[in-house]
Amino acid sequence: MAVTRWITHALTLVVLGVVSPVLLSGCNIASAVGYAVHPEPEFEAEYTLANVPTVVFIDDRRGVVNPTRLRRVIADEATAQLMEEGVISQGNMISPRDAMIAARRSDRSGDVVPIAEIAELVGADQVIYVDVNQFKVTFDGVTPDPTSIVRIRVLDIATGKRVFPDPDAPDGDSGYFQLTADMPNAEPHGFNTIKVRNEMTEQLALQTGDRIAKLFYTYMQSELGSRMGRSR
């Protein structure tokens, strides 16, 4: 009862601005009170995917992602997260590797194979198409600034139409949702070594996959977490 009265009293003082931050920081209960006053922000899903056979396809014909194996890291991370969050059931998520192999085999003829054909080859009814525009860990060769920019659209293969972004949107968009993923708190220590740069590049790939998946479910993120940039 005494603890309950203390929490009630503390909440009242917090609201009135009477309690010192120093006093609050010294108590675990007070930390919980602070969380109640300042909850984590919530990000709503941009689009609700249909729970049908789905594949994440990374289109990087310009060779932006280097090394190229990180294309699969991006796609695998997004795929795993969509399954873990229950957005798409495990039985309906198709391995990105299968789509990459199908595209590589078909592209050998010299012609760019249509996405619908790739989907048919792997048995997908829905494609999360990701076009990579930028993937760098530095812009001046000295300072770490890991950033990726991708354009995303979701295709319904049965109808042959785009379902995300909204095809009927009045804003005249380009047909893609542009997403920026970055690592603003990247540690510069050791950035001049190949080992650290490789590790940072791997983390950027994982971060990109994470951000792609988060477009399709509602989640909570701490204000102290990494920043996510979104724009159309």
- In sequence order, what DSSP letters do the residues of 50-112 get, joined into one string? -SSSEEEEEE-TT--SSSTTHHHHHHHHHHHHHHHTTSS-GGGBPPHHHHHHHHHHHHTTSSP
Domains of the chain: 2-39 (no CATH), 43-231 (3.40.50)
Distance between CA atoms of residues 75 and 118, nearest Å: 15
Mean pLDDT taken over the chain:
82
Reported as a single tens digit per residue, the pLDDT across 53-105 is 999 999 998 899 999 999 999 999 999 999 999 999 999 999 999 999 988 88
Q: How far is CA 168 from CA 160, 175, 220, in A?
A: 15, 10, 29
Sequence letter at residue 10: A
Arithmetic mean of pLDDT, 189-205? 91
pLDDT recorded at residue 192: 85
Reported as a single tens digit per residue, the pLDDT across 128-184 is 999 999 999 998 888 888 999 999 999 999 999 999 999 887 654 578 999 999 988
Q: Tell the burial category of 90 from Cβ atoms under 10 Å away from its Cβ (0-12, 13-18, 19+).
A: exposed
pLDDT higher than 80, residue 121: yes
pTM exceeds 0.85? no
- Peptide bond before 165: cis, by omega within 30 degrees of 0? yes
